[in-house]
Amino acid sequence: MHDSVRVQWCKALALRDRWTEEVELTREEMKRVLRELQAIENDWTTRASQRTNADHELTRALTAYAKKQMAVVQRVAKGFYRQWNLSMAEIVRGMGGGQGQQAADNAAEGREPA
């Protein structure tokens, strides 16, 4: 085999290995983000029921604020989870600004591309 082909093959192998490692790191980071959001939600749940000795109006306001924060964190976590669990087909469809969806629909129905 020619030396230049071997060099090119080694470069491609190294690039593939780096890409594989990056994917693994990204997936682990995504898991950590979701775990952290769950911990934050649990913290706000605890805060919502923590104050019982304060003024009644203050307790109600603090509980309402904690529940609002809990809902915000839940919404963020659900959005991340939904986005991060898309299939590759769904991701490709979303990249074409609507054209990807049309092409996917045409292919599914056996029609020619527009």
Q: Is residue 30 part of a domain?
A: yes
> Residues 93-99: what's their mean pLDDT?
65
Instruction: Give the separation between CA 45 and CA 70, rounded to whole angstroms.
Output: 7
Q: How many domains are there within the chain?
A: 1
Instruction: Give the separation between CA 62 and CA 45, rounded to whole angstroms.
Output: 12
What count of other Cβ atoms lies within 10 Å of the Cβ of residue 73? Answer: 20
Q: Is residue 20 part of a domain?
A: no
Q: Is residue 2 part of a domain?
A: no
Q: Is residue 17 part of a domain?
A: no
Answer yes or no: is pLDDT of 101 > 90: no
- Given this model, what pLDDT does residue 2 score? 85
Tell me: the pLDDT tens digits for 22-80?
A: 988 988 999 999 999 999 999 999 988 887 777 888 888 888 999 999 999 999 999 99
Q: Is residue 55 part of a domain?
A: yes
* Residue 28 near residue 54, CB atoms below 8 Å: no
Domain range for 35: 26-109
> Residues 2-6: what's their mean pLDDT?
88
